[in-house]
Structure 1
Amino acid sequence: MAELPGRRDLDTHAVENQPAAAAPDPWAQDAALRAHAGRQGGRNSVLQRAGAVLAAADIRHAAQEARRDRPRLVTHDRGGARLDEVRFHDGYHRLLHEGLGLGYAALPWDGAAGGHVTHAALVYLFSQLEPGVCCPMTMSYAAVPALAAAPELETIWRPRLISGLYEPAAMPVAAKRGVTLGMAMTEKQGGSDVRANTTRAEPDGDAYRLTGHKWFCSAPMSDGFLTLAQAPGGLTCFLVPRWLEDGRNRIHLLRLKDKLGNVANASAEIEYAGALAWRLGDEGAGVRTIIEMVHHTRLDTAMAPAGLMRAALAEAHGWATGRTAFGKRLIDQPLMRAVLADLALDWEGALALALRCARAFDDPGERALARIAVALAKFLNNKRCGPVIAEAMEALGGIGYVEETPLPMLYREAPLNGIWEGAGNVICLDILRTLARAPEAAAALDAELDAAGGADRAYDAGLKAHRARWPTMPDEAGARWFAESLATLLTASVLIRSAPAPVADGFVASRVAGQRGQIAGSVAGLDLAGILDRIAPPG
Structure 2
Amino acid sequence: MATGTHTVTNQAPPLVGYDMFSSDRALAEAVERHLPPEVYEEAAKELAGFGVSTGSSQAQEWGRLANEFPPRLRTHDRYGNRIDEVEFHPSWHRLLGRAVGAGLTDAWGRPGGHVKRAALFLLASQVEAGHGCPLSMTHAAVPALRADPELAAAWEPLLASRVYEQDLRPPLEKAGVLLGMGMTEKQGGSDVRANATRAEPLAEDGAYVLTGHKWFCSAPMSDGFLVLARTARSASASAGGSTSAAGSASGSASGSGSGSAGEDGLTCFLVPRVLPDGSRNAFAIQRLKDKLGNRSNASAEVEFDGSTWARRVGEEGRGVRTIIGMVAATRLDCVLGSAALMRQAVAQAVHHASYRSAFGGPLVDKPLMRNVLADLALESEAATALGLRLAAAYDAAEAGSEEERALLRIAVPVAKYWVTKRCTPVVAEALECLGGNGYVEESGLPRLLRESPLNSVWEGAGNVQALDVLRALRREPEALNAFLVEVGRARGADHRLDRAIREMLAELADLDGIEARARRLVERMARVLQGALLVRWAPPAVADAFAASRLGGDWGAAFGTLPHTLDLAAVVERARPEA
Q: TM-score range by the shorter chain?
A: over 0.9
Residue of structure 2 in register with 1:236 after alignment: 267
Query: Which whole-Å deviations, capped at 9, do the CAs of 1:98-138 have from their partners, x for residues lacking one?
Result: 101110010x22x3321111111111111110000100001
Map of 1:199 onto structure 2: 197
After superposition, the C-alpha distances for 1:279-305 in whole angstroms (9 at most, x for unaligned) are 011110010000010011111111111
Name whichever of 35-44 and 232-241 sits farther off.
35-44
Q: Tell me which of 110, 117, 120 is aligned to 2:118.
A: 120
Listed as ranges, the matches of 1:408-419 within 5 Å are 408-419=446-457
1:417-459: CA deviations, max 9, x gaps?
Answer: 1111110000000001012111111110010111110000111
Separation in structure 1 between the aligned mates of residue 374 and residue 382 of structure 2, nearest angstrom:
12
Q: 8 Å contact 1:432–1:473 — kept in the other structure?
A: no
Q: Aligned partners of 2:53 and 2:480: how far apart in 1?
A: 41
Distance in 2 (alpha carbons) for counterparts of 1:172 and 1:416: 32
Distance in 2 (CA, whole Å) between partners of 1:28 and 1:275 is: 48
The structure-2 alpha-carbon separation of the partners of 1:187 and 1:429, relative to structure 1 and needing over 3 Å to count, comes to same
**1:48: Cα distance to partner?**
1.2
Of 9, 13, 33, the match for 1:16: 9
**Whole-angstrom distance in 2 between the partners of 1:89 and 1:362:** 35
- Output the amino acid matched with 2:275: L
Amino acid at match of 1:160: L
1:359 matched residue in structure 2 = 392
Partner of 2:281: 249
Structure 1, 27-36 or 79-88: larger mean CA deviation: 27-36
Matched ranges for 1:258-297 at <5 A: 258-273=290-305, 274-297=307-330
Q: Tell me the distance in 1 between the aligned counterparts of 2:158 and 2:65.
A: 28
The partner residue of 2:516 within 466, 469, 477 is 477
Aligned Cα root-mean-square deviation (Å)? 1.4
Structure 1 partner of 2:71: 71
> In the alignment, which of 421, 432, 436 is matched to residue 459 of structure 2?
421
1: CA distance, partners of 2:146 / 2:578 = 48
Question: Which of 524, 533, 538 is the equivalent residue of 2:573?
Answer: 533
Q: 1:347 aligns with which of 340, 365, 380?
A: 380
Q: Name the aligned partner's letter for residue 326 of structure 2.
A: M
Show CA shifts across 1:242-285 (max 9, x none).
01123100000000000000111100000011210000111100
**Aligned counterpart, 1:30:** 24
- Corresponding letter in the other structure for 1:327: G
Match of 1:3 in 2: none
Does the CA-based 8 Å contact 2:507-2:521 persist in structure 1? no
Q: Per the alignment, do residues 395 and 537 of structure 1 end up closer, same or farther by CA in structure 2, a change over 3 Å counting?
A: closer
Measured against aligned partners, the alpha-carbon deviations of 1:61-83 in whole angstroms (never above 9, x if no partner) come to: 21111111110000001111101
Alpha-carbon distance in 2 for matches of 1:248, 1:230: 23
Partner-residue secondary structure (3-state), 1:253: strand
> Is the contact made by 1:354 and 1:374 (CA closer than 8 Å) also made in structure 2?
no
Q: Which residue of 2 aligns with 1:450?
A: 488
Size of the aligned set, in residue pairs, is: 530
**Equivalent AA in structure 1 for residue 20 of structure 2:** P
Query: Which moves more between the two structures, 16-25 or 387-396?
Result: 16-25
2:501 corresponding residue in structure 1: 463
- 2 CA distance for matches of 1:386 and 1:31? 22
Q: Which moved more, 1:155-164 or 1:24-33?
A: 24-33
Selected match of 1:325 from 318, 339, 358: 358
Q: Secondary structure at the match of 2:209?
A: strand
Runs of 4+ in structure 1 over 6 Å off:
none
Q: CA deviation at 1:538?
A: 8.8
Q: Secondary structure at the match of 1:29?
A: coil
Residue in 1 that maps onto 2:220: 220
Please state whether the residue corresponding to 1:385 is helix, strand or coil.
helix
2:366 maps to amino acid: Q
Quote how far apart the aligned CAs of 1:462 are.
1.2
Q: Counterpart of 1:226 in 2: which secondary structure?
A: strand
Change in Cα spacing, 1:537 to 1:67, as seen in structure 2 (3 Å) is closer
Report percent identity of matched pairs: 52
Contiguous gaps of at least 5 residues in structure 1? 1-7
Check conservation: 1:255, 1:268, Cα contact below 8 A.
yes
TM-score under structure 1 length normalisation: 0.96
Measured after TM superposition, the shift of residue 405 of structure 1 is: 1.0
Identify the residue that residue 40 of structure 1 maps to in structure 2.
Answer: 34
The answer (yes or no) to whether the contact 2:86–2:220 under 8 Å persists in 1 is yes
Deviations 1:392-435, CA, capped at 9 Å, x for gaps: 00000001011101100100110111111110000000001012
Distance in 1, matches of 2:132 and 2:90, equals 16
Deviates further, 305-314 or 520-529:
520-529
Residue type matched to 1:534 in 2? R
How far apart are the structure 1 equivalents of 2:578 and 2:492? 32
Query: What's the TM-score, normalizing by structure 2?
Result: 0.90
Matched position secondary structure for 2:93:
helix
Match for residue 468 of structure 2 among 407, 416, 430: 430
1:28 offset after TM fit, Å?
2.1
CA distance in 1, matches of 2:577, 2:336: 22
Q: Is contact 1:213-1:272 (8 Å) kept?
A: yes
Give me the whole-angstrom Cα distance separating, in 2, the residues matched to 1:362 and 1:66. Answer: 33
What residue number does 2:134 align with? 136
SS at match of 1:243: coil
Aligned to 1:404, what secondary structure does the other structure show? helix
Per-residue deviation, 1:54: 1.2
Shift of 1:523: 1.7
Match for residue 547 of structure 2 among 499, 503, 508 = 508
Question: What amino acid is aligned across from residue 15 of structure 2 in structure 1?
Answer: A
CA deviations 1:181-229 (Å, max 9, x no partner) are 0001110000000111000101112200001000001100000000000
Q: Is the 8 A contact 1:436 1:473 kept in 2?
A: no
Partner of 1:5: none
TM-aligned CA distance change 1:199 to 1:155, over 3 Å: same
CA distance in 2, matches of 1:12, 1:537: 31
Q: Contact conserved, 1:199 with 1:210, CA < 8 A, in 2?
A: yes
Letter in 1 for 2:22: A
- Residue 492 of structure 1 and its aligned partner are, at CA, apart by 0.4
Letter paired with 2:270: L
Amino acid of the structure 2 residue aligned with 1:40 = H
Letter in 1 for 2:295: V
What is the CA–CA distance in structure 2 between the aligned matches of 1:33 and 1:538, rounded to whole Å? 14
Aligned to 1:520: 559
Q: SS of the residue aligned with 1:488? A: helix
Letter in 2 for 1:507: F
Q: CA deviation at 1:9?
A: 8.6
Contact 2:133–2:218 (8 Å) recurs in 1: yes
Alpha-carbon contact 1:143-1:293 (below 8 Å) kept: yes
The residue number in structure 1 matching 2:251 is none
1:257 and 1:266 in contact (8 A); partners too: yes
